[in-house]
Amino acid sequence: MSDGRRPRALLLLLTTAGVLAIAVAVAIVLLVGRMPAPVAAPAPSSPAPAASTGPSPTPTEAEEPTASAVVLSGGGFTIVATDGSDLYSYDWHDDAAPAVTALAEAFGVEPSTSTIEGDGTHFPDYTSYDWDGFALRDMVAADGGKPRDEYFQPSYVEITSKAVGDIAVTPEFDLQVGMPSDEVRSLEPDEEVAAADGSPRFFFAIDRSFDDDVENPTPEEYALWVRTDPTDQTVTAITYRPHSAL
């Protein structure tokens, strides 16, 4: 080869090598640009809270109302709850068995029982259900006798205390066992008489026993009989029963 051709061949070789180097560099750049970015490792997750092993709370149940008083009226009595609601009501002509059960539950004790003999004509025998300070007396029906709803006094109540345990016993007209006779007079009773022992006896609401001035044979509402002690003349008993001259 002549000396003139060698430089041209060398120049061609170097040019080719440069082109190849540039191509390789471009290929590397493109390859690197297409590689995915490194993914960061996930952060460690917080541990799940441990499940409770204790018992589930029990829903609170509403408390049942309890008795606070027995309130008497002309037509019977009502057992009143601490929240003011009526727990049980009794009418003088009602069956006494449910009343005895309701009173025993209210007073928290069963009654003692005894028999009060009638007079053989106007009044039957009575079963007396007695708590300390409160007595419910219910007639004993005689074989072949009149039905209960035809009796003048099928049942009645006598109270000798302001309360039975924690249960107040409340009659009408602001009367109370233990009240002095002068205070009873201030309440304007319908009638006052002297008992055989000289003690004053008072009557309230005697008109309940009459219809147009005629004695009602089956009154729906009773009068109040108030007995006093002959010594200090304080009230010893208040009885709900029809007013009668018998």
Instruction: List residues bridging with 163 in a β-sheet.
Output: 168
Amino acid at 15: T
Q: Is residue 131 part of a domain?
A: yes
Distance of CA 150 to the CA centre of its chain: 36
Q: What is the DSSP letter of 121?
A: S
Largest CA distance in the chain: 175
SS (HEC) of 7-60: HHHHHHHHHHHHHHHHHHHHHHHHHHHHCCCCCCCCCCCCCCCCCCCCCCCCCC
pLDDT at 244 over 50: yes
Phi, psi of 69 (to 5 degrees): -160, 155
Q: Is residue 53 part of a domain?
A: no
Q: Is residue 78 part of a domain?
A: yes
Q: Is residue 1 part of a domain?
A: no
Phi, psi of 162 (to 5 degrees): -75, -20
Contact 238, 178 (CB under 8 A): no
Q: What is the pLDDT of residues 26-51, one digit of tens each?
A: 445 454 455 555 555 555 555 555 55
Q: Is residue 36 part of a domain?
A: no
Q: Is residue 71 part of a domain?
A: yes
In angstroms, the Cα distances linking 208 to 91, 93, 101, 134 are 15, 15, 28, 23
Q: What is the pLDDT of residues 73-119, one digit of tens each?
A: 999 999 999 999 999 999 999 999 999 999 999 999 999 999 999 87
Q: What is the pLDDT of residues 8-27, one digit of tens each?
A: 554 554 555 554 555 545 44
Average pLDDT, the chain: 83
Structural domain containing residue 146? 67-241
Domain total of the chain: 1
Q: Is residue 14 part of a domain?
A: no
Residue 15: what pLDDT? 55
Q: Is residue 137 part of a domain?
A: yes
Mean pLDDT over 185-191 rounds to 98
Residue 144: what pLDDT? 76
What is the share, in percent, of the chain residues with pLDDT greater than 70?
Answer: 72
